[in-house]
């Protein structure tokens, strides 16, 4: 009877793991990671044989059950709150850029005015009253020039009516050109605001892409974290079942006076400890699901489960990673953060150019032409050739000692130097990120080889302890320790498989490759 119980216990403990190790042994050809042809998601689906699996569009999903990684990413991109805020930030930058460009669009201003005036005065004891009505209609147009100057044109019509029924109509027109020759002049100065705003828009576009990338990576990590938590819970449930059966076996042995009562107590303690472990791991699994809901932008009360790709991960073949030097070169060529550094430098250069221009004297060139006519009727007041004039002027203003402007130049130069230093620092940080991510991937590869052998040894150890226990040569504590070793190595082995996938995703990010 005891032999049957022990044999059944041993077979039950090992059957699931043996199947998985057999599947793991059926490795496919070496898989090329970090290829320019595929994003991380496409590479993963191809490596795990999931590319041809049907996928429901997220617009048609009503029940979030058995959600794939691709669907998780699509839902996150559509609903994540950080991404939604990033979209708003990008729209704000686009609005600011349109505003800056509108500086060089013609602007018009149409104005109208009417007033009534009554004046009384006494002359030689005689009171005189004068009434005056005045209506004015004006149209002004302005065009800013890329050189920093502007052209203004205006047309003005005034109708004045007196109390004696006399009226006077005046029509005036004018055009004026103003062009700074030193301070505020030149294409660089005139277009500085537009160029700076355009660079700010580019920076916002990159920030939006980086925020999306970070959310995508967080979803990938959370997805695999759920797989890890689910696997740990499954292992604990298996362990709980086996320890319950072992407890029953020890009770039978005790009833046959083959072991001491203390062995039963130890087995029961171990069983209760495993029950507590199940509670802890179930809570951890539920918290992982809640964290995924936050990333996806879904309500916390949403019922959700992910597609279990455990078996596909166990069957995954070897992965080929490019050499470290290649990864670093890819990162320096692809990382958006370096483009942001270039943009920051360019913005500081524009600020320095503007600050230098502000230290120059004011030397402005003005030319204007005006014409007008007046009469008692409108048809008698529109001949602008009756009165016209030209005006050309040059004005010079030299500020002294101009200390605020000079200090502004010094600050702008220091800010440019800071931006250049930050670029060098960012390059080194990227190299460090790639190196660390590469090192983690290689370490995971080594750990997987070691842990696979550890699982095999744990299997053999448990088999031996069960045989010794059946022969009365070991205690329940020895069997319990062998069980714990096997369950722990199973947990560590699958956990490292998950870490391997996460580390590859982080290497994709570090090298600037697309994640989705």
Q: Would you place residue 16 in the very low, low, confident or very high pLDDT band (cuts 50, 70, 90)?
A: very low
At 187 the pLDDT is: 92
Contact 516, 73 (CB under 8 A): yes
Segment 245-259 shows an average pLDDT of 83
Residue, of 50 and 273, whose pLDDT is higher: 273
End-to-end CA distance of the chain: 57
Distance CA 328, CA 321 (A): 12
CA quadruple 39, 44, 46, 50: dihedral positive or negative?
negative
Question: Pick from 13, 431, 27, 31: which is nearest to 238 by CA?
Answer: 13
Q: Which residues contact 297 (CB under 8 A, 6 or more apart)?
A: 75, 76, 78, 79, 80, 81, 84
At 247 the pLDDT is: 85
At 482 the pLDDT is: 84
What tens digit of pLDDT does each residue of 290-302 get?
Answer: 999 999 999 999 9
CA–CA–CA angle 72, 76, 82 (5° rounding): 155
Instruction: Give phi and psi for 108, each to the nearest 5.
Output: -130, 150
- Average pLDDT over the chain reads 86
What tens digit of pLDDT does each residue of 164-194 get?
Answer: 667 888 888 899 999 999 999 999 999 999 9
Q: Is 449 exposed, middle or buried (0-12, 13-18, 19+ CB in 10 A)?
A: exposed
Q: Which residues contact 148 (CB under 8 A, 6 or more apart)?
A: 179, 180, 184, 185, 186, 189, 190
Question: Pick from 491, 467, 490, 489: which is nearest to 478 by CA?
Answer: 467
Tokens of 331: 């990162």
What tens digit of pLDDT does each residue of 405-419 get?
Answer: 999 999 999 999 999
Full-model pTM: 0.82
Distance CA 312, CA 282 (A): 23
- Decide if pLDDT at 14 tops 70: no
At 378 the pLDDT is: 65
Segment 460-484 shows an average pLDDT of 78
Q: Which H or E run contains 186?
A: none
DSSP 30: P
Q: Would you place residue 490 in the very low, low, confident or very high pLDDT band (cuts 50, 70, 90)?
A: confident
What tens digit of pLDDT does each residue of 186-245 get?
Answer: 999 999 999 999 999 999 999 999 999 999 999 999 999 999 999 889 888 988 888 888
Q: How far is CA 234 from the centre of its chain?
A: 34
At 6 the pLDDT is: 40
Segment 374-385 shows an average pLDDT of 68
At 70 the pLDDT is: 92
Question: Pick from 231, 219, 185: which is nearest to 83 by CA?
Answer: 219
Instruction: Lay out the sheet containing 150-162: strands in order across.
Output: 107-123, 126-144, 150-162, 167-180, 362-375, 387-397
- Decide if pLDDT at 122 tops 60: yes
Q: Would you place residue 4 in the very low, low, confident or very high pLDDT band (cuts 50, 70, 90)?
A: very low
Percentage of residues in the chain having pLDDT higher than 90: 55
Tokens of 434: 């790639």
Distance CA 514, CA 516 (A): 6
């Amino acid at each position: 009877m005891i032999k049957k119980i022990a044999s059944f216990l041993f077979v039950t403990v090992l059957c699931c793991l043996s199947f998985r190790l057999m599947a793991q042994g059926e490795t496919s050809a070496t898989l090329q990671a970090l290829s320019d042809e595929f994003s991380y998601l496409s590479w993963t689906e191809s490596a795990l044989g999931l590319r041809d699996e049907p996928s429901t569009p997220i617009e048609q999903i009503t029940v979030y059950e058995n959600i794939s990684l691709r669907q998780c990413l699509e839902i996150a991109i559509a609903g994540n709150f950080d991404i939604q805020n990033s979209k708003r930030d990008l729209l704000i930058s686009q609005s600011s850029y349109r505003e800056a460009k509108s500086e060089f669009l013609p602007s018009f201003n149409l104005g109208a005015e009417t007033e009534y005036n009554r004046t009384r005065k006494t002359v030689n004891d005689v009171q005189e009253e004068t009434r005056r009505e005045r209506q004015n209609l004006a149209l002004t147009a302005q065009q800013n020039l890329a050189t920093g100057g502007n052209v203004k044109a205006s047309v003005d019509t005034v109708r004045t009516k007196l109390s004696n029924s006399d009226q006077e109509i005046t029509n005036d027109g004018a055009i004026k050109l103003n062009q700074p020759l030193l301070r505020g002049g030149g294409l660089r100065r005139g277009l500085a605001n537009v160029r700076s705003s355009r660079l700010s828009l580019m920076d916002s576009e990159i920030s939006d892409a980086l925020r999306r990338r970070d959310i995508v990576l967080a979803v990938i990590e959370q997805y695999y974290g759920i797989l890890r938590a689910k696997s740990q819970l499954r292992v604990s449930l298996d362990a709980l079942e086996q320890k319950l059966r072992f407890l029953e076996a020890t009770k039978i042995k005790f009833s046959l006076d083959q072991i001491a009562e203390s062995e039963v107590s130890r087995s029961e303690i171990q069983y209760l400890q495993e029950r507590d472990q199940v509670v802890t791991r179930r809570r951890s699994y539920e918290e992982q699901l809640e964290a995924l809901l936050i990333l996806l932008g879904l309500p916390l009360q949403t019922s959700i489960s992910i597609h279990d790709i455990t078996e596909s991960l166990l069957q995954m073949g070897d992965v080929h990673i490019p050499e470290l030097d290649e990864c670093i070169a890819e990162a320096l060529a692809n990382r958006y953060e370096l483009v942001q550094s270039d943009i920051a430098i360019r913005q500081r250069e524009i600020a320095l150019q503007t600050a230098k221009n502000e230290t120059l004297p004011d030397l402005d060139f003005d030319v204007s032409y005006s014409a007008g006519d007046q009469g008692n009727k409108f048809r008698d007041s529109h001949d602008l050739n009756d009165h016209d004039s030209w005006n050309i002027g040059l004005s010079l203003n030299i500020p002294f000692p101009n200390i605020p402007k000079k200090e502004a130049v010094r600050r702008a130069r220091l800010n440019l130097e800071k931006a250049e230093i930050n670029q060098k620092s960012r390059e080194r940080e990227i190299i460090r990120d790639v190196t660390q991510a590469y090192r983690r991937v290689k370490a995971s590869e080594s750990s997987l080889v070691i842990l696979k052998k550890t699982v095999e040894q744990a299997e053999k150890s448990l088999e031996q302890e069960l045989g010794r226990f059946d022969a009365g040569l070991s205690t329940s504590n020895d069997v319990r320790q062998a069980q714990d070793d096997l369950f722990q190595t199973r947990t560590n082995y699958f956990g490292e498989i998950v870490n391997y996938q996460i580390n590859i995703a982080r290497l994709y990010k570090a090298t600037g490759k697309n994640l989705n």
